[in-house]
Amino acid sequence: MSAIVDFLEGRGVDGRGRTLDQVLAFDDAALERHHDFIQWLFPLSEPSGAVAGSPVLSPGDVAAIRTSTVSANGLQRAAARMAAFYRGNDHWLVRFDHNHLRITRILKSLRLLLGDAPADAFRRGVLDRVEAAGGPVDATAVRHWLRA
């Protein structure tokens, strides 16, 4: 297995030596403060432009994650934690915020690894929050979410 599959399955650690359970146990302040975990919770097939050395999914990783109920469970838990973060905090409901990039990553990763339904559900929750706040997020970010 690869480091990212091991991490998502709870057998490995991220680049800072943290397990999936440790990252998911971060309080909201820690989720906001740390910028090197999102690439591990929601990996993609392209390198991160924000955090050098983050995992990049190989075709084998994608296949392994798609067929593993343990990996799927890890991703679902990560999505639930981040959805709770976005529901419980308003600081990202501004025109520009680094969380907007995180949301795009989450949507792309969920779509790639779990399919359309989980990605669409996450996006719906985010868009509902934006709408309820009066639409403060820049339209470019929203367009990225709609395409992700």
pLDDT given at position 109: 98
DSSP string, the chain: --HHHHHHTTSS--TTS--HHHHHT--HHHHHH--SSHHHHS-BSS--SSSTT--B--HHHHHHHHT-HHHHHHHHHHHHHHHHHHHH--TT-SSS-HHHHHHHHHHHHHHHHT-HHHHHHHHHHHHHHHHHTTS-S-HHHHHHHHH-
What does the pLDDT look like over 39-65, one tens digit per residue? 999 999 999 888 878 999 999 999 999
pLDDT given at position 48: 87
Least confident of 1-5, 18-22, 65-69, 132-136: 1-5
Q: pTM for the complete prediction?
A: 0.97
pLDDT at 80 over 90: yes
Mean pLDDT of the region 73-77? 98
